[in-house]
Structure 1
């Protein structure tokens, strides 16, 4: 059964060499349910709010299966929260999730898949691996951001059920790798309600005329 294996939120703010000077990437598992509101998990924060957070990036999910891949490739543990994720999942094809797909978690929480995670310098500094941004992007196991459609609690062990999957079929992995103009148009013309971030990013693809 698809389920949440860990719920993570910021443990402490850390000094960072980036322009902000601090980072909230240090997410760690918590015990018990956590309330999820439109801007994310209760008591979680983002230090760089220009590039992180907001309603379209309220929750970041990463799959146990993708974490296990990196753990083997890097020959080190990849515990929940290391990548800055809020939810670690099992049995959920996060990279294969369709943008606009909806997840029901537990009894009341409903989330909508929006965009893939784009690795940044803060992430690279946290990992301490040369060339990490390029390597993470090349593996195309980005994890997914989600927006909150219906608020509610989330806890480790909660089931994850896909309640809606748009017919256009364009996945998080496809967007991360760079969709063609044709595939971007399929999403924009689908008639599905789209998060503003999705509309913006796919409109840029059309403007570039990628094929």
Structure 2
């Protein structure tokens, strides 16, 4: 069991590093409960996020049911803080959920979490860093550095909607036995393409990442 340290949401802000000129990567902890629902397919005209009060700006590559909620652990943020020599507050990586005591990078694709009394989420995809992320952190060669460390956290889809808040317990309800974690998917799609065949039979993997893996294998 883990703990939800914070629920983080963001609004669009101007950015010189985003292709469309705005980004909502600057997530801040919400003060009270936050409603969680499936946002629908990517680019359907909604906010793109599974969290009320949160926005997704570039709907070409972000948001939708298979990227409804992004989770990152406090333990991994602390590793980065030590390496970068700077404070990294909850939400700074653009994560919606900052967790403690729960693996995010090592979460299995298809693993289900219950948060609080109502919400159930399913791990379904990994994060691929972009230049907006690099510009936000203001670090040279950040995309390469992030890829080499391979600590991507995890994207989740909404199985059961409801409300969550900071302090809620997170319980892992089920875990598949295929051994493919968000970290494995990340490594396969970035610097270790020899892992790509392992992704093809993982049914819970987001279609856009499974299709990308299939294309590269072929």
TM-score (norm 2): 0.87
The match for 1:26 is 26
Partners in 2 of 1:100 and 1:94 — Cα distance?
12
Partners in 2 of 1:77 and 1:136 — Cα distance?
17
Answer yes or no: is 1:51 the counterpart of 2:51: no
RMSD of aligned C-alpha atoms? Answer: 1.6
Partners in 2 of 1:81 and 1:111 — Cα distance?
19
SS at match of 1:81: coil
Out of 110, 126, 142, the position equivalent to 1:116 is: 126
Partners in 2 of 1:123 and 1:153 — Cα distance?
28
Segments of 4+ in structure 1 off by > 4 A? none
Answer yes or no: is 1:180 the counterpart of 2:195: yes
Unaligned runs of 5+ residues in structure 2 are 40-49, 189-193
1:31 Cα deviation from its structure 2 partner = 1.0
Q: Structure 1 22/64 Cα, relative in aligned 2: closer, same or farther at 3 Å?
A: same
1:116 Cα deviation from its structure 2 partner = 1.2
Answer yes or no: is 1:8 the counterpart of 2:5: no
Query: Is contact 1:3-1:89 (8 Å) kept?
Result: yes
Partners in 2 of 1:91 and 1:110 — Cα distance?
18
1:19 Cα deviation from its structure 2 partner = 2.1
The 5-angstrom pairing of residues 1-211 of structure 1 reads 1-39=1-39, 40-178=50-188, 180-185=195-200, 187-188=201-202, 192-207=203-218
Unaligned runs of 5+ residues in structure 1 are none
The CA deviation string for residues 69-122 of structure 1, in whole angstroms up to 9 with x for no partner, is 000000101111111110000011111100111111111101110111111000
Query: Is contact 1:180-1:205 (8 Å) kept?
Result: no
Q: Structure 1 47/181 Cα, relative in aligned 2: closer, same or farther at 3 Å?
A: closer
